[in-house]
Amino acid sequence: MSEYLFFAFESDYVPYRKLVIGKLPRVDLVTQSILPEDFCLKSIEIKLTALPDNSTYKLSEDKYGCEIVVRPDTIVYLALSIASKLQSDRLNITNFLEPGFADIEDLTKIKYVIPKISKIITSLDNLLLHYIDLQSPLVMQPVWKTVGKTSKLFTNCLDMFVWSDFAFTRLFFDVAKRKLKNEESINRYTRTVVWLAKMLYDFGNSGKFNHQLIIDSYTYNTKNDKAFAINGLNTYAYMASSELREPRIKKEEIKNIFLGGGQNYLSPERRFDAIVLSNPEIFDESLKDI
């Protein structure tokens, strides 16, 4: 690791400020280079997830999956990640997305949006497919694996998955597509598609978008506390791998991650913190057989 690399947690990614109207939300992690000059390298959202989740803990171990809960700010950074790559192709963005937004009388009204959802999804899918080679990391997803719903960690218990910005869209796009034919209202997954498409459409037209106005205006009778959540039964199809079945980092390595008695400063109300504290043998070998 470079000695000039700095990790800024809960910070905004300064290069994106010029792409939004209003205050840029904070992202979980911004990597920065502090020498020879101070500048931002990358913004990363972090989703620490338990394996298994409530929907898969009764299944066999090889079918365990993780629930991912996504906040609206993650969708803002998803839109910004895509938009930042296409600043010289703004007209192309508009051309791709125009079929989805053309002739919508009122985008805030469910009855006018539902007939256009299929076109919005298709036009945004076409845009992403056209620029697929530009995808880059967006979300870092560490997983920690326990025996069912217990607090007992497996010997192989920690690993990391990284989602690109384009790949991350599949989590809500695919659900929105499946529900398309049977829905008479707009669910969280479909609403998230509308949010992302509208942010990019506005960026294509003006070079900026007002993320807060979009999120607050297009609610469709659903709270904005989260964008969406997807359980382990549904994430399994995307994450199924040897690393999910048997994470690469062993439990004994945790003592090399929490250094200097750092485990004593954990907050037990936080789920992973509680799991670490529930496995004291990690830090005290005399407790291994207890």
Please indicate, yes or no, if residue 198 is contained in any of the structural domains.
Answer: yes
For residue 285, tell me if it sits in a domain: no
Give percent above pLDDT 70 in the chain.
94
Q: Could you identify the residue written with the tokens 């913004």?
A: 43
- 284 part of a folded domain: no
Residue with tokens 């539902």: 114
CB–CB of 155/251 below 8 Å?
A: yes
- pLDDT > 90 in the chain, percent: 73
Confidence check: pLDDT of 247 > 60: yes
The pTM for the full model equals 0.91
Mean pLDDT of all residues in 221-231? 93
285 pLDDT above the threshold of 80? no
Beta strands at 137-146 and 153-164: parallel, antiparallel or unpaired: antiparallel
Burial of 76 (0-12, 13-18, 19+ CB in 10 A): buried
Contacts of 233-239 spanning 24+ positions with Cβ under 8 A = 233/55, 233/56, 233/65, 234/65, 234/171, 234/175, 235/65, 235/66, 235/67, 235/68, 235/171, 236/56, 236/63, 236/64, 236/65, 238/167, 238/170, 238/171, 239/65, 239/66, 239/161
Q: Dump pLDDT digits (tens) for 198-224.
A: 999 999 999 999 999 999 999 999 888
The pLDDT score that the predictor gives to residue 1 is 60
* pLDDT tens-digit readout, 53-101: 999 999 999 999 999 999 999 999 999 999 999 999 999 999 999 999 9
Number of domains in the chain: 1
**Is residue 174 situated within a structural domain?**
yes
Measured between alpha carbons, how far is residue 120 from residues 15, 110, 123, 127, 164 in Å? 28, 14, 5, 11, 21
96 Cβ partners below 8 Å, 6+ apart? Answer: 123, 124, 126, 127, 130
Q: Which of 152, 184, 176, 147 is nearest to 58 (CA)?
A: 147
pLDDT of residue 103: 85
pLDDT band, residue 270 (cuts 50/70/90): low
- Collapse the DSSP code of 68 into the 3-class scheme (helix H, G, I; strand E, B; otherwise coil) and give the result: strand
d(CA 44, CA 83): 16
Does 12 map to a domain? Answer: yes
Q: Classify 171 as helix, strand or coil.
A: helix
Residue 125 in any domain: the answer is yes
Instruction: Work out the pLDDT band at 277, boundaries 50, 70, 90.
Output: confident
Full domain range(s) for residue 72: 5-255+265-276
Residue 35: per-residue pLDDT: 73
Please tell me the predicted confidence (pLDDT) of residue 288. 65
Number of Cβ within 10 Å of residue 190's Cβ equals 26
Tokens of 137: 């990391």
What is the pLDDT of the chain when averaged over all its residues? 91
> Does any domain span residue 154?
yes
- The pLDDT of residue 286 is 66
Q: Is the pLDDT of residue 290 over 60?
A: no
Residue 76 and residue 196: Cα distance in Å, rounded?
A: 8
Using pLDDT thresholds of 50, 70 and 90, give the confidence band for residue 269: low
Q: Give a yes or no: residue 75 inside a domain.
A: yes
In this predicted structure, the answer to whether residue 39 has a pLDDT above a threshold of 90 is no
Amino acid 217: pLDDT: 95
pLDDT (tens digit, 9 = 90+) per residue, 111-142? 999 999 999 999 999 999 999 999 999 999 99
What would the mean pLDDT of 271-286 be, rounded to a whole number? 78
